[in-house]
Amino acid sequence: MILVLSYIVLFIYTIAILLIFFYSLAQLNLLLNYIKSKKTIQFIEKFNFLNANEIPLVTIQLPIYNEKYVIERLLQNIVLLDYPKDKLEIQVLDDSTDESVILIRILIAKYASQGIDIKHITRQIRTGFKAGALKEGLETAKGEFIAIFDADFMPDKDWLLKTIPNFKNTKVGVVQTRWGHLNRNYSILTKIQAFALDAHFTLEQTGRNSKQHCINFNGTAGVWRKSCIIDAGNWESDTLTEDLDLSYRAQLKNWKFIYLEDVETPAELPAIISAARSQQFRWNKGGAENFVKMASKVIASTTITRKTKFHGLLHLLNSSMFLCIFTMAVLSVPMLFVKNYFSHIGWYFDIMIFFIVTSIIFFTCYWFTYKNIQGGGFKNFINYIGMFFTFYAIAMGFSFQNSIAVLEGLLGKKSEFIRTPKFNIEALKEKWKENIYISRKISKNTIIEGFLVLYFLFGLFSGFKLNDFALFPFHLMLFFGFSYVFVQSLKTN
């Protein structure tokens, strides 16, 4: 019986490792695409803004929900955007339920008195959450193009002048820009978030877009052609990542997306772990929901190539990799005992080499993205090594919560859109602790993560007792990652 259970553990463990390995090969392919794209000059047909007749009408949508700490900064930034006033409309899509509504009303009245076309659109019921607000605003939007910014974004003054001209080709439905990070160096947490997002916004977005594979509008810091939104079926709220959903529906209808890596749009990263957890949960659950919703449509599509379908399915499965990581992590401890008590199958444990190769592939891929933004050189490479392994460990520490999110998404369990609280942390400094939007509740997931700290400590101890250190580095990273997430969750709550 024990031998049968051992084989079952071995089988599941192997499947998890191989799935992660094949995902890493897809990332390596994106890296090669990314490198090739740097050697290729892509011609994009553009509007001639020297001709006033070619300057289109633009609507900026600002979906807001209880953002008292950042709304003033947001509006101050948006009204300074360089674009003809008679060609620009601003919609503040305000679903707020607190006193920030009054502040927003005062600010809008002030800017409207200066001749700015700015409107305050409120709803009594948050039907469809962010997707519902965007859809309702679209009904009255005057612009041919719809620029969207979340409350924590601060586009540069010339942002519209860099993005809107790229819509000259009528087949272009979306122009997306790269996120920057206002508080990258605030803490370890913000550093590893920036590290991961930089990889997405360089390697993945450019790697896919350069070969016309499906990419995603990232929910903010991008522009939609209004007719593209409508043609693709408009915003829908049946997933927690409405941006990924509409992106795929649009591209399956043959709309083209343009990704501008060189146009950076600064934003504030979640600075405390409860905010990062809520964002990670929403993104990963939404990704899994979109896999369920869109996978069959991607496979059946006649408008995209087989290679694009392959990358599209892996893109939609992105969040599901956390489930594989967590499965591999949990089973790695019993695997120690299986290996040492059933020596006749010891040769099979060479399967771990696939995880080592996977780690090397990710290490290589992330170095190219890190070097592109932070610069090369020996000193930066040494810094990168420390950052990579810190990121790797803490990402594993998030794997339990993110696996729950993925399972809920795959199984169709519905939940509300929990928005990420914003802090304006660089201005308010330590006053962030007074933020009224912070959740003070310690979730059951945090308690389980505490037990997982002890579990992987047991894994380290078992390695010593069995005199088998093959999995020791892996268990050490898991111990560190889960300890960080657990302790930080207790501290901020």
Closest CA to 323 of 354, 296, 284: 284
The CA distance from 448 to 54, in Å, is 58
95 is catalytic: yes
82 is catalytic: no
Alpha-carbon separation of residue 240 from 216, 235, 243, 262, 313 (angstroms)? 14, 12, 9, 28, 18
Closest CA to 474 of 466, 482, 484: 482
Phi first, then psi, for residue 358 (nearest 5°) are -60, -45
Find the catalytic residue in 94, 95, 156, 245. 95
Find the catalytic residue in 150, 198, 243, 245. 243
Tell how far CA 306 is from the center of its chain: 25
Q: Tell me, what amino acid is at 367? A: W
Supply the residues annotated as catalytic.
95, 243
